[in-house]
């Protein structure tokens, strides 16, 4: 039992952005890209399927997405299938569920597709969608949606640790520059410090470029039991550790000091322990930069730097190529965009290509360990750690 292991054996992605494609088109496109990534697997071989999606009922006017998505990928599940949702952390949750389904013996191979169609004609729908993510009785009805929430987080961190607006902006500059090498990213033009600092104010101190982007997109991975994985590819990407926590809802109730996220620290510790590694062993990470401040706090709570030193960490280039750990080489949520249900799966796709040396010009050379982090609230975190062996 302790010896059973699970690995990624395929991964594909769609172009992220303001797409003309429908919800269904995006699924089919990600499905094709996933199968194209490993010609040893055909849709007929897949008997378990999980879709990660947050808002199809509102944005695509379509419920019951699991069988629809399976069908559009050519898959007929006879072992396990469902839709998994955990708001912005849905993708990582779905891969964890695939891991559980395989480890439980119900199946030995699962396809996971994450998708979101966000750019719909009615902006009212988008606005309502954003509201539906927080507590409608205690938060969103008072206007407490993600941007003001994370603005308050930023203010707390600046006050307590002296983090500066420039340091926040440098996260955005880094991620926008990374995405220039990612043809699937929503934004590919890069960004300068001046551009970020002078962009429109959203919720002080967060400016437009401090925020992730509403984006359409989808991504897929196939996860398999080690024995089967080895028969399908020479370079499986192993899941070494995982953890998940939700410590407090609604967001506004937790925690008292928003500059510190003990629940993320707890989850990270647990995932490192399961993987048998420490934070210094992580070579490359995709973390949940829904806002620049999130990435800074994540450096700290994931143990990449000391508490309070996240601002300096990015300023010193420690989260960029040549630094301690390359964070968000894909461009992250800020530059790839954030199609809710797809983001965690997009992170797994990055793990797949980075740990197989297939990431082209943004390859982190010699990367052995990859950490993926998704959040769905200040106290709600989802972590997966991947390794080459």
Q: Which residues bind a second copy (CB under 8 A)?
A: 1, 4, 24, 49, 54-55, 57-58, 61-64, 66-68, 70-71, 76-87, 90, 93, 96-97, 99-106, 128-129, 132-137, 242, 244-250, 266-267, 376-377, 380
End-to-end CA distance of the chain: 18
Q: How many residues does the chain have?
A: 389
As a whole number of angstroms, the distance between CA 170 and CA 193 comes to 7
CA distance 12 to 32: 8
- Cβ 96 to a second copy, closest distance in Å? 7
Please list, in sequence order, all residues whose beta carbon lies within 8 angstroms of the beta carbon of residue 182, skipping any fewer than 6 positions away: 188, 329, 330, 331, 335, 336, 362
- Strand-pair partners of 113: 51, 220
Between 305 and 375, CB nearer to a second copy = 375
Order of strands across the sheet that contains 109-116: 48-52, 109-116, 217-225, 6-13, 237-246, 380-387, 369-377, 284-286, 326-327
Nearer to a second copy, 60 or 203 (CB): 60
Tell how far CA 209 is from the center of its chain: 18
Identify the active-site residue in 73, 81, 88, 373.
88
Q: Which one of 81, 178, 186, 338 is the catalytic residue?
A: 338
What's the min distance (Å) between Cβ of 120 and a second copy? 14
Is 338 an active-site residue?
yes
Q: Which is nearer to a second copy, 197 or 252 (CB)?
A: 252
Distance in Å, CB of 24 to a second copy, minimum: 7
Q: Is 88 a catalytic residue?
A: yes
Identity of the residue, 92 or 292, whose beta carbon is nearer to a second copy in the bound complex = 92
| Identity of the residue, 131 or 208, whose beta carbon is nearer to a second copy in the bound complex | 131
**Are β-strands 237-246 and 326-327 bridged in parallel, bridged antiparallel, or unpaired?**
unpaired
Given a contact cutoff of 8 angstroms between Cβ atoms, the answer to whether 161 and 296 are in contact is: no
Tokens of 73: 């990928």
Enumerate residues 6+ apart whose C-beta is below 8 A from 309.
161, 299, 300
The C-alpha atoms of residue 136 and residue 329 are separated, in whole angstroms, by 35
User: Could you tell me the smallest distance in angstroms from the CB atom of residue 211 to a second copy?
Assistant: 19
Helical axes 340-354 vs 90-103, angle rounded to 10°: 60
Q: In whole angstroms, how close is the CB of 71 to a second copy at the nearest point?
A: 4
Sign of CA dihedral 166, 204, 256, 339: negative
Torsion of CA 165, 170, 172, 174, to 10 degrees: 180
Query: Considering beta carbons, is residue 135 or 286 the nearer one to a second copy?
Result: 135
Q: How far is the CB of 305 from a second copy (least distance, A)?
A: 24
Q: Which is closer to a second copy, CB of 94 or CB of 327?
A: 94
Shortest distance in whole angstroms from residue 324 CB to a second copy: 28
Minimum Å distance from CB 337 to a second copy?
19
Give the integer Cα–Cα distance in Å for 168 and 182.
22
CB 300 within 8 A of CB 310: yes
Contact 213, 187 (CB under 8 A): yes
CA dihedral 48, 54, 56, 58 (to 10 degrees): 160
Comparison of 158 and 229: residue with beta carbon closer to a second copy: 229
Tell me which residues are annotated as active site: 88, 338
């Amino acid at each position: 039992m302790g010896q059973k292991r699970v690995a990624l054996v395929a991964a594909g992605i769609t172009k992220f952005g303001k797409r003309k494609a429908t919800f269904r088109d995006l699924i089919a496109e990600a499905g094709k890209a996933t199968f194209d990534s490993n010609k040893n697997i055909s849709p007929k071989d897949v008997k378990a399927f999980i879709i990660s999606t947050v808002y199809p009922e509102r944005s695509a006017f379509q419920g019951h997405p699991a069988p629809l998505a399976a069908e559009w990928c050519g898959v007929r599940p006879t072992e396990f299938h469902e839709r998994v949702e955990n708001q912005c952390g849905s993708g990582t949750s779905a891969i964890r569920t695939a891991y559980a389904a395989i480890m439980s013996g119900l199946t030995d191979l699962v396809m996971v597709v994450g998708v979101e169609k966000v750019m719909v004609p009615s902006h009212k729908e988008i606005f309502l969608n954003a509201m539906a993510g927080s507590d409608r009785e205690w938060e969103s009805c008072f206007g407490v949606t993600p941007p003001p929430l994370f603005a308050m987080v930023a203010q707390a961190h600046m006050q307590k640790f002296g983090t500066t607006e420039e340091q926040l902006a440098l996260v955005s500059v880094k991620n926008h520059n990374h995405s220039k090498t990612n043809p699937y990213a929503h934004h590919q033009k890069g960004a300068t410090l001046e551009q970020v600092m002078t962009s429109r104010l959203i919720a002080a101190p967060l400016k437009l470029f401090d925020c992730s982007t509403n984006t359409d997109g989808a991504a897929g991975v196939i996860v398999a039991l080690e024995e089967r994985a080895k028969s399908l590819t020479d370079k499986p990407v192993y899941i070494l550790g995982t953890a998940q926590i939700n410590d407090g809802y609604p967001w506004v109730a937790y925690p008292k000091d928003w500059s510190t996220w003990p629940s993320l620290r707890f989850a990270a510790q647990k995932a490192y322990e399961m993987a048998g590694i420490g934070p210094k062993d992580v070579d490359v990470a995709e973390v949940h930069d829904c806002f620049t401040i999130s990435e800074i706090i994540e450096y700290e709570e994931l143990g990449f730097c000391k508490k309070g030193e996240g601002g300096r960490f990015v300023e010193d280039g420690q989260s960029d190529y040549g630094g301690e750990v390359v964070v968000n080489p894909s461009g992250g949520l800020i530059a790839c965009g954030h199609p809710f249900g797809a983001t965690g799966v997009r992170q797994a796709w990055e793990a797949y290509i980075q740990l197989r040396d297939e990431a082209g010009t943004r390859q982190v050379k010699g990367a052995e360990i990859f950490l993926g982090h998704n959040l769905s609230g200040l106290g709600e975190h989802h972590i997966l750690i991947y390794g080459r062996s």
